[in-house]
Structure formats: structure tokens, C-alpha cells
Amino acid sequence: MRLSRRAAIRLGGAGMLAVAASRRRAQAAEAIRIGAINPYSGPMALYGTEVTHGYELAVERANAAGGVLGRQVVLLRGDAANPQQGISAVEQLAPSVDVFAGTYLSAVSNAASDAALRHERIYWDTNALAQDLTQRDLPNFIRSGPDADAFARGSVEAVKGLIAPALGREVKDLSVWIEHEDSIYGSSIAAAQRTLLQAAGAKIAGVGAHPASAIDLTDTVLRARRAAPDVFIETGYVPDGNLLLRTSRDQGFTPRATLFVGTGDTPETLSSLGAAFLEGKLVESYPRPDVAPAYGPGAQDYAEAYRRKFGHDPIAPQGLTAYVGMQMLLEAIAAAGSTEMAKLRAAAAAMDRPLHSYATGFGAKFDAHFQNIRALPTTIQWQAGRQVTVFPEAAAAAGVRLAPLSGRG
Amino acid sequence: MGQIVEVLVAGLLLGAVYGLVALGLNLVFGVVRVVNFAQGELVTLAMYATYWLYAHYGINAYLAVLLVVPALFVLGVLLHRLVLAPLQDEPMMQIFATFGLVILIQNLLLGITQGQALSIDWPFARTVIAFAGVNVNVARLVVFAALTAITVGLHLFLRDTMPGRAIRAVIQDRRAARAMGINVDRVLLLTVGAGAGLAGIAGALLAPIFTLSPAIGGNFILAAFAVVVLGGLGSLWGAYIGGLLVGVVEACAGFYIDPALRQAIWFAIFIAVLILRPAGLLGQVGAEEVGFRGQQ
């Protein structure tokens, strides 16, 4: 049989393509593929991308050290700005990923993790806060970051351990106003804060709820001002938090201490209010890279790696928590020797790392609902336009001092 | 007593925000008879333009009005020429088209800003006047003054000028107006431009007060629709009175009952008005047919 030159070229080309495809398949089989479910479009894109930046840095670090189980780790992005998109992103990625990670938005986490279960994939959540995510007891859901309850406890600890001493008062002598946006996020944190503060003996001067999309909060501020609380706690988002602070300024509402929860520590708030007005105000938030090295070993390395890769400072602290969460996931995969759901879950259950093992100051110990009980937020204070970690005391870097809490003296 | 005054003032200032956004919406509805769902997004565009002029060129928001309003007017003219006019025989399609614009503008701004919230921390907007124990933010007071001035100005324009009379003629009977030599198409074109220009004024004056996000227009427009219907479809003074009324009801409900219920309460009033007086408080029965009424 004779082959024409053209047929020979075609045959040779097809052979080369087949070899290349086979090599690509082999490489793909070797890599551990993680689907990163976050909003990369829509109003939360900035923060979704920031969370995934944390994943990227953790993955790069692991790959530079030889990978996990001798395999490289590859991240695949799944854009999800709402629950429907979360399901769709999981369905799209499921055939080609081993594990899912996420999520900046709790509502997306809820839907996406459910979809991941149908494909028997672990959904490793690093950032979503909603309390009920772990209460569902989904067999594929593990949360490495703090939950809403941790933020509520952290904020109350800040009142007890930071604000009360700074004001020279006992907690039982403090009156506290609890303000929150009225979705499940703000409501659940506020309810827990109220219970914990009452248990600590503090007087609850009032509880207020407002929509995050409110365009006027004067009535809210006037109610709080009438109650004249010593401490004003607010859980919300950036726009309503900024509006609340601006209205407080207009109405001369100056509680002795102001503590924001979850937001209020980003440049968006600084540009809205200015450094002078923010001076002394506190924010309960995800740990930042400025924590003391002994509290969060490697936090500075993260900040430097971030600057090298992205050319600017971290935009929000969520990235560091995501970075640590991805580190924990990769450790769990290494311990499990597999990405199989049951094995990975067992490996997570066996994790027992003390506090201050990671750059956020977190440890790793999962409760029966697979919530990491060693993931704790920290408290920052605005000082001269900078966010400085001040609480817990061990988290504050050397030389950091608490500035006056502002407000009426 | 002092507290009641504080709440009432807060309500009036909030109502002025609603009224200012509602004016443009009502003008376009009254004359062109199109419900422009994108009016909130035009306000948003004006807010971002004001922010941009402030952040990059240091132009303060009140001077920015001089640039933003003409730009929005041109945008309104283009909106009419390219979107509304080609669909003028298909009212439903016009509504869908403006709804499409909402999504287009929001996503355009998302693409540009990546969703980052932006604010103008302008010293003037921080100024507070204390009068009889009531604190009033000057930027909000300017909104109130602007709403009042624009409403009075529009009233006089429609009553006493030839273009105003032409608009009234178009409102009453387009065919007869055309027969009288009025260029109806030009009136409609300029009215949509003016509606967008009003959005420009609203955006420039509101930019120093709020934190900008691509979806912020939606926060205003829901209330503005309620104001338009409550005050009276197509009624100039209805938008003014309705806006202030909604603001006062919201502030009083928020302060004296529960902040979480403030919108629910004025929506309940809104529904009651619709049932008892479908044309709105100052509207005329069949206003959707009659159109804009600012001359009375």
C-alpha cells in the first residue's frame, strides 16, 4: 500500500495531535483541580476577586513547594454573583474539578454547596458567614473561616476586653445600642450580640434595624441619640455603614465608642468619611496582615507576596482569610491522600492545629457541624487613616497602642 | 416638641430627594407618556459623572451641574432619538427598552468600577446648620431648595412661555397641536432631554450625600415611582407634595414606630391611595391619558 505525500502529512499531523491530547489528559489527571466559586462580576466582584487572590497565593506557594500529593494544584474560576449563578457555576465546573472552594457571599455558598453535593464534591468554604450554612450538616460542607456567631462573640469580647477598660467602666455599667441591617446577616449577628451582652450584664439601650439600601438613616440616628448609649455597634454593609456615620456626624451623635462589625475597615469608608472623623473608631473584621508575627505567623509574607503579584496592597482583609482557608484545604487533601469526599471530610475532622498556627491567627479544629472553632476575627482601630489591629491584645503588633475611642469624653 | 421638629425636618429633606428624582420621571411620563424605568440609572450616571469631575478635576458638585446637566440632556435626546422614537407605536416595547437600559447602564458602571463603592468627602457636604436645636446638613438643604426652585420654575415655564404652552398643547391633543403648527416630535425630543437633564441635577446634588454604587439608582427609583403615583400621575405639584409626604411619613414611621417598618408603612398608604383615589392626591382622573399638569 502506498501513501500519498498529502495523506502521510495528514496521518502524521493526526498522530501528533493525538499524542499532544493524550499528554494534556495525563497532565490534567495529575493536577488537583479546585473550583473557586465567587462573584467575579456584579456589585461584589471586587471582593469575590480579592478572596480568589488569596486562593491563588496559597496555591502558588503550595505548587512552588512541589504541589500536593506530588501533584500541581490548579484553580478554575466559577463566577457566581447570586445563588442561581452559583448552581450553574458548580454544574459547569463539576466534571473537571476535584473540590470546590468559596465564597464571598453566603447565599451563593448555600446554593453552590448544595449543587456540589449532587456531584459528591467537597465544598470548602473559607469566607461565608451565615450561621446556618454549617447547621445544615451537609456531608460535603466544611467551613474553615469564622461564622456570624464568631463575629458576634468577637464584637462582644471587644466590648468587654477593650472598650470597657478604655472607658474605665465595668461592662455592667455600659449601655449599648445594637444597630444592624435587616437581612439574615445583620439580624443573626445582632441577636447573638444582644444575648451575649445581656449575659455579660451590659444594658441594651436599644436595637435598631434598617435596610442596607436605605437612603436616609436620620430616624435611626435620632433614636440612638435619644437613648444616649456609651457604645454604638453596627453590623451592615459599606453603603449603609457610610451613611450611618455621615448622619451621625450631621446629627452630632457621638457615643463614647463606635464598633462596626464586618465592614467599615476598607478604603471605601475612609474616602467617604475622612481620616479625622474615623479616628478612634473600631471595626470587628477578618484578621489583617498587620497582626503580630507571633499571633499570625506568615501574615507579613502574605502581604508582601500579594504586593509582588498584584502590584498594590490587599484591598480587603477577606483575602488573608481565604489564603489561610486554602492552605487548610490543601493540608486536608495531603492528609487524606485524596480529594474523595468521605476521605477529605475524615481528614478535616482529624485536623487539630492550635490557635496561631496560620497567618490569620487561626487554628484548625472542626466541630460536629464542620465549623472551624479556632477561626476568630480581630478588632482594628482607625488611627490616622490606617487600620491598626488592636484586639485581642496578642494580635496587636509591637508598639501599637489604642488611640482614644473618640466621641464624647 | 424639639424632637418632632427634628423628625419633620428629616422627613422633608428625605422627601426632597424623592421629589427631585420623581420630577424627571413625571415630566417624561406626563408629556411623552412613557414610564422611563431608566430614570434612576440616569441619576446614577450623573452621580458618577459628578464624582469623576470632583475626583479628577477638583470640580465641586454644584459647579459640576453646569457640565453634567447638558451632558445628560444630550443623552436624553439620544435616548429619545435612538430608542423611544423608533418604538413610539409600541408602548410596551418602549417600557422594555428602558428596562434594558437599566441593565446596560448598571453593568457598564460595574465593569468600570468593579463594584467598588465611591464617595465624595467634600467639606461643604459636611457642613451642618444648627437652628433651634435642629441639625440640618447643608447638602440636603440644597436638594430641598433645588426641588422647590425647579418645581416653581417649571410651573411658570409651562404657564407663561410659548414653549411651555406648546408642551401643554401637545399634552392635551397631539394631533390638534400639530395642526396648529407645533413641531410635536421636537417637543417630545426636548422633553425627554429635559427629563434626563433633571436626572442630571438630581445626580449632581445627591452625589456628595451618598456612597455611589452602580445599583444606587434603584434605591431612589422605587420610592420615586411611589411618589409619582401617590402625588398624581403627570402632576408637577403632585411630585413635589407626594415626595415630601412620603419623606415625612417614612421619617415619622421610622422614628416613632420602627425603622424596619418605615417603607412598609408608606407603601401601605400608597396602596390605600391607589384604592381610594387611583389618580393620586393631585392627579386628574384619567391622567395617563391627559398627561402632565404643571400649569394649574
Predicted confidence (pLDDT) at residue B81 exceeds the cutoff of 70: yes
Predicted pLDDT of residue A400: 93
State the pLDDT at residue A237. Answer: 87
Ranges of H-type helices in A173-237: 184-199, 218-227
Distance in angstroms (rounded) separating the CA atoms of residues A289 and B36:
47
Name the pLDDT band for A407 (thresholds 50, 70, 90): low
Is the residue at B267 inside a domain? no
Residue B178 pLDDT > 90: yes
CA-closest candidate to residue B221, choices B136, B98, B55? B98
Lowest-pLDDT range of A82-86, A233-237, B167-171? B167-171
From A245's Cα to the closest Cα of chain B, the distance in A is 11
Closest partner CB to A239 (pick from B117, B126, B128): B117
Cβ distance A46 to B209 less than 8 Å, yes or no, reads no
Rounded to a whole number, what is the distance in Å from the CA of A336 to chain B's nearest CA? 38
- Please say whether the beta carbons of B227 and B237 come within 8 A: no
Question: CA of A274: which chain B residue's CA is closest?
Answer: B121
A196 pLDDT more than 50:
yes
B110: nearest CB among A45, A182, A226: A45
Considering only CB atoms, B115 lies closest to which of A42, A218, A274, namely A42
pLDDT in tens, B132-163: 889 999 999 999 999 999 999 999 999 999 99
DSSP label of A82: S
| Residue partners of A347: CB distance under 8 A and separation at least 6 | A332, A333, A335, A336
pLDDT in the model for residue A7: 60
A147 near A129, Cβ under 8 Å? yes
Among A47, A219, A238, the residue with its CB nearest the CB of B211 is A238
Confidence at residue B291, expressed as pLDDT on a 0 to 100 scale: 54
The alpha carbon of residue A81 is apart from the nearest alpha carbon of chain B, in Å, by: 12
pLDDT band at A305 (very low <50, low <70, confident <90, very high): very high
Kindly give, in sequence order, each residue whose CB lies less than 8 Å from that of residue A84, ignoring residues fewer than 6 positions away. A111
Highest-pLDDT range among A140-144, A399-403, B228-232: A140-144
Confirm if A79 and A103 have CB atoms less than 8 A apart.
no
State residue B30's pLDDT score.
85
The answer to whether B61 and B49 have CB atoms below 8 angstroms apart is no
Q: Shortest CB distance from B121 goes to which of A210, A222, A271?
A: A271
State the pLDDT at residue A261.
Answer: 95
Residue B288: what residue type?
E
In the three-class reduction of DSSP (H, G, I as helix; E, B as strand; rest coil), residue A204 is classed as strand
- Chain B residues with CB under 8 Å of a chain A CB are 3, 6-7, 10, 13-14, 17, 110, 114-119, 121, 126, 128, 135, 137, 209-211, 213-216, 218-220, 223, 247, 250-251, 254-255, 258-260, 262-263
Of B10, B216, B260, the CB nearest to A210: B260
CB contacts of B255 in chain A (<8 Å) are 219, 222-223
Q: What are phi and psi of A353, to 5 degrees?
A: -115, 135
- Residue A213 is nearest to which of B7, B137, B219, comparing CB atoms? B219
Model confidence at B285, in pLDDT bands (50, 70, 90)?
low
Average of per-residue pLDDT across B161-179? 90
Query: What is residue B288's predicted lDDT score, i.e. its pLDDT?
Result: 52
Are the beta carbons of B114 and A49 separated by less than 8 Å? yes
Q: How far is CA B79 from the centre of its chain?
A: 17
- β A386-391/B128-131 pair status: unpaired
User: Is B241 within a domain?
Assistant: no
Confidence of residue B117 (pLDDT cuts 50, 70, 90): confident
The predicted model gives B156-185 an average pLDDT of: 91
Contacts of A182 in chain B (CB under 8 A): 260
Whether the per-residue pLDDT at B295 is higher than 80: the answer is no
Test mutation, A49, A219, A310, chain B, max B CBs within 10 A: A219
Question: pLDDT by residue (tens digit) across A241-278?
Answer: 999 999 999 999 999 999 999 889 988 899 889 999 99
Nearest CA in chain A to B6: A222
Q: Please answer yes or no on whether A242 and B254 come within 8 Å at the CB atom.
A: no
Q: What is the pLDDT of residue A247?
A: 94
Query: Quick one: average pLDDT of A99-124?
Result: 96
For residue B134, the enclosing domain spans 2-228
pLDDT average, residue stretch B69-78 = 97
Which pLDDT value is given to residue A238?
A: 86
Chain B residues with CB under 8 Å of A214 CB are 219
Q: Any idea which of A334-338, B15-19, B116-120 has the lowest mean pLDDT?
A: B116-120
Which helix (DSSP H) or strand (DSSP E) does residue A178 occupy? Answer: strand A175-181
Show residues of chain B in contact with A246, CB under 8 Å: 209
Q: What does the pLDDT look like over A157-175, one tens digit per residue? A: 999 999 999 999 999 999 9
Domain count, chain B: 1
> Given CB atoms, is A190 within the 8 Å cutoff of chain B?
no
In a domain, B276, yes or no: no
Please report which confidence band the pLDDT of residue A15 belongs to, taking 50, 70 and 90 as the band edges.
Answer: low
Per 3-state DSSP, chain B is made up of helix, strand and coil in percentages (nearest 5) of 75, 5, 20
For residue B226, what are the contacts with CB-CB under 8 A and spacing of at least 6? Answer: B242, B246, B266, B267, B270
Beta bridge partners of A77: A36
Check A249 against B126: CB less than 8 A apart: yes
Contact A220 B259 (CB under 8 A): yes
Q: How many CB pairs under 8 A join A and B?
A: 102
Q: Which of A248, A240, A193, A204 is nearest to A377 (CA)?
A: A193
Which residues in chain B have Cβ-Cβ distances shorter than 8 Å to A217?
Answer: 259
Q: Which CATH architecture has domain A31-146+292-376?
A: 3-Layer(aba) Sandwich (3.40)
- One fold for both A31-146+292-376 and A149-285+378-395? yes
Enter the CATH code of domain A149-285+378-395: 3.40.50.2300
Beta strand B128-131 with B134-137: parallel, antiparallel or unpaired?
antiparallel
The length of chain B is 296
Given this model, what pLDDT does residue B64 score? 95
Question: Strand (E) positions, A25-174?
Answer: 32-38, 73-79, 99-102, 123-125, 141-143
Highest mean pLDDT among A370-384, B92-106, B235-249: A370-384
Mutate one of A44, A46, A246, A249 to test the B interface: name it (highest B CB count within 10 A). A246
Mean pLDDT of B49-72: 95
Verify whether the Cβ–Cβ distance B117 to A238 is below 8 Å. Answer: yes
Q: Which residues in chain A have Cβ-Cβ distances shorter than 8 Å to B118?
A: 268, 271
Q: Which pLDDT does position B142 carry in this prediction?
A: 96
Output the pLDDT for position B33.
84
In chain B, whose CA is at the least distance from the CA of A40? Answer: B114
Mean of the per-residue pLDDT values for chain A? 91
Average pLDDT, chain B: 89
pLDDT confidence of residue A2: 53
Q: Give residue A1's pLDDT.
A: 47
User: According to the model, what pLDDT value does residue B292 have?
Assistant: 57
Lowest mean pLDDT among A198-207, B56-65, B120-129: B120-129
Q: pLDDT per residue over B7-41, tens digit each?
A: 999 999 999 999 999 999 989 988 888 888 899 99
Distance CA A261, CA A237 (A): 9
Predicted complex ipTM: 0.85
Question: Is residue B258 in some structural domain?
Answer: no
What is the domain partition of chain A in residue ranges?
31-146+292-376, 149-285+378-395
